[in-house]
Structure 1
Amino acid sequence: MIGRMSAIAGIGATEFSKDSGRSELRLATEAVRAALDDAGLRPGDVSGLVTFTMDSNAEIAVARELGMGELSFLSRIGYGGGAACAVVQQAVLAVTAGLADVVVCYRALNERSGRRFGQAFASPDVDSGWHHPMGLATPGAMVAMVAQRYLHDYGASTDDFGRVTVAARRHAATNPYAWFHGRPITLDEHRASRWITEPLRLLDCCQESDGAVALVVTSLARARDLARPPAVIAAAAQGSGPDQYVMTSYYRDDVAALPEMGVVARQLWGQSGYGPEDVRTAVLYDHFTPYVLMQLEELGFCGRGEARHLIAGGGIELGGRLPVNPHGGQLGEAYIHGMNGIAEAVRQVRGTAVNQVPGDGPVLVTAGTGVPTSGLILAAA
């Protein structure tokens, strides 16, 4: 049982932009230093580093740049955005096993000014042979197939997808750190945005961003003595579903579902002792709007096909039944592979968020879906 033995003690980030003007290594070191400063720690206190397999910055390069010295734990997690919460889980495992005392998780990318994930790309892996020859070579095209099936199976509409974006942009509009600060949208503007791959419009797709985020994980006992109130890691889980592919799991009996998130959800509720009814706010990985609806269903906030009713009338906005992504999410704040969502969850637990959700319940965080994924539940000490 790993829950409640570790905590996130520090968070740090660069600005979020479309052209950072500096290397990804520079971004990583800036974010890591900011996270350590937030925790009141020095680089020499760090004994472990965890990042994504997609991160271009070697752990030893980050350590050298910051003068960290000896490290006793190094790890990376695959599957793109599905790694976001799993990197924290890796840090928790290292801390609870006594392999490292202070572990920093980081992600840095120039995803707008450098390699743009939304562009078609060739991949050498075996799974690509099932979809690239059919023209499915971008994440948007891959997700559109699932989204179309969801609309067919449950009678939802593209307006239901649009309401997710409207909520995210409304939250981002009051967040000065968000790229879309001061720029909310209406449902009509969503309807008018161009098609990317039907039924996905431009405003159904997350941003392409430059930036970095870092998190400091240590034991709860040590975190209590540091500079900031700890965000207790009440649960941390990773999961993959049967017949899992990367963004293209079309060979399951139920195409319009995210069973990998169900695997994660059962672990989160079991580890933490919480249920969906206890959650104060949810930070859901919003790379594409249909997957927000499906996550709400897999996590147990509503029945299968019923998410459109939950979000109707501002249900996921501030003051609604379940505020989702009060920072604006990846649709409104920035796309840093979900790591900025974890930082927002920490702020919500600390009570320092720009759009603070009242109450003392836990905060749920999820990672990228359509791939093996992960999740966290954070709570106050």
Structure 2
Amino acid sequence: MGDEGIDRSAEATMAARATKSTTPAPPPARRGSPALKDATAIVGIGQTPFARRLEASEKSLACRAILAALDDAGIPPSQVDALASYTMEETDEVEIAKSIGAGDVTFFARTGFGGGASCATVAHLATAIATGQASVGVAWRSRKRGSGPRPWRNTRTQLPTPAQWSRPYGLIRPADEIAMLARRYMHEYGATREHFFNVAHACRRHASLNPAAVMHGRPLTRETYMTSRWISEPLCLYDNCLETDGALACVVVSADRARDCRRSPVYVHSAAQGLPAQHHGMVNYWNDDPLTGPSWTAARQLWKTADFGPADIDVAQIYDAFTPLIPLSLEGYGFCGRGEGAAFTEDGALELGGRLPLNTGGGGLSEAYVHGFNLITEGVRQLRGTSTAQVPGASTCLVTAGEGVPTSALLLRS
């Protein structure tokens, strides 16, 4: 390039810089922008039966639940262009898309940390649809835990690095990890087994109204609870979730499209994930405050862009792999003060007619344990007015994923 070309290039560069400097800068992005607020809706839900043993494969169960959800929404499988599930899901997106007859898929995502992923699957679909990456999203979870392998029975299993250097020998089962947190909660704040029974009893009473629940028709008395065998003291048999086979799914579309679907839309009002600083998973014993878990982090983000707060929640679906997670989550999501979660469960507060009915399908303790996805579908039923344990006039619902692991949460409204 000659000198003349260099001079012209320099002039062009200077002109461009001058133009740029005189162009007004865009306003700074708002922290916690409510761009996702009510922009999408769940319009279809589906599930298979729940049981200790189902003959179908996990792939077959997943497809059945997804097709049922699409039928519920009145949307053909060929219009599905977004998929979301868990990293622990055995059936991948390729197999699901082929098997259900999906169209070109333009968004797919998986979230880790087991039960902490449930609400995130819906959140990721909502984000993709709100930003134009897709138009019809399906989230699902399929498990054969009741009839499949149970790795936690072998306490000699080697843990991956770095966990093998940071845990006491034999501390492998989630029940043992949560038992230690539960014991500390009891020691510091006076929680008792009576409080844990309140949680188990509420879930079982709601399951008694739900014909699809594994524990339907099997009432739980205080005596039965108190005299049951230990799983990991202070957690007894009924403080632990079920082991079940089954699958669930839901369909997410834009709010505009939702108005034309077969079912009344349930809007995704707010969504959040939470991974606290210096978190150690369910063995969070080395933090300054081990009882402040991921729910506290997720809650701050969740309520930040919401138009309502904890006092405005009509019904809640709170992750219940173990009963002590409920009082911890009640505190984390702001329904009561620090150390008050156990007392919150008293006087039937968690049952129909109580101050915060929760897990109205029976939850993981009494309906089915499918990594918390049944809490999402039950939240949708409540806001549709079709739950077997319906809260009259319910229009707002909190759904949470696993406490103790990196987690997620949803605020749903009708």
Matched, 1:27 2:61: yes
Tell me if the contact between 2:213 and 2:362 (Cα under 8 Å) persists in the aligned partners: yes
Structure 1, unaligned runs of 5 or more: none
Q: Distance in 2 between matches of 1:359 and 1:117?
A: 43
Per-residue deviation at 1:305?
1.2
For residues 94-105 of structure 1, the aligned pairs below 5 Å read 94-105=128-139
Gaps of 5+ in 2: 1-34
Alignment of 1:47-196 (within 5 A): 47-116=81-150, 118-120=152-154, 122=157, 124-130=159-165, 133-196=168-231
CA, structure 1 residues 370+117, in 2 after alignment: closer, same or farther (shift >3 Å)?
Answer: farther
Distance 1:219 1:280 in 2: 24
Q: 2:305 aligns with which of 245, 265, 271?
A: 271
- Residues 294/117 of structure 1: CA separation in 2 closer, same or farther (3 Å cut): farther
2:262 to 220, 224, 227: 227
The equivalent residue for 2:239 is: 204
SS in 2 for 1:232: strand
Report the alpha carbon displacement of residue 191 of structure 1 after superposing the two structures with TM.
0.6
**Cα shift at 1:118:** 4.6
Partners of 2:154 and 2:172 in 1: CA distance: 5
Does 2:368 align with 1:334?
yes
- What amino acid is the match of 1:350? R
Q: Which of 296, 301, 314 is the equivalent residue of 1:280?
A: 314
SS in 2 for 1:183: coil
Are 1:51 and 1:75, in contact at CA under 8 Å, matched by a contact in 2?
Answer: yes
Q: What is the match of residue 48 of structure 2?
A: 14
Greater shift after overlay, 334-343 or 300-309?
300-309
Report the more deviating stretch, 121-130 or 193-202: 121-130
- Provide closer, same or farther for how the CA distance between residues 116 and 271 of structure 1 changes in structure 2, counting only shifts above 3 A: farther
Contact map agreement 1:53 1:76 (CA 8 A) in 2: yes
1:132 deviates by: 5.0
Deviation at 1:141, TM superposition (A): 0.7
Equivalent in the alignment of 1:236: 271
- The 2-side partners of 1:203 and 1:150 are apart by 18
What whole-Å deviation, never above 9, does each CA across 1:122-168 have from its counterpart, x for those lacking one?
36532421455521010001111111100000011112111100111
Partners of 2:222 and 2:278 lie apart in 1 by 36
What TM-score comes out, normalization by structure 1 length?
Answer: 0.97
Determine the structure 2 residue equivalent to 1:42. Answer: 76
State the identity %: 46
CA distance in 2, matches of 1:339, 1:102: 19
Tell me the CA shift for residue 120 of structure 1. 3.8
Of the structure 1 ranges 49-58 and 185-194, higher mean CA displacement relative to structure 2 is found in 185-194
Q: Tell me which of 365, 369, 377 is aligned to 2:399.
A: 365
Higher Cα Rg, which structure: 2
**In 2 relative to 1, CA 123–81 (structure 1 residues): closer, same or farther, beyond 3 Å?**
farther
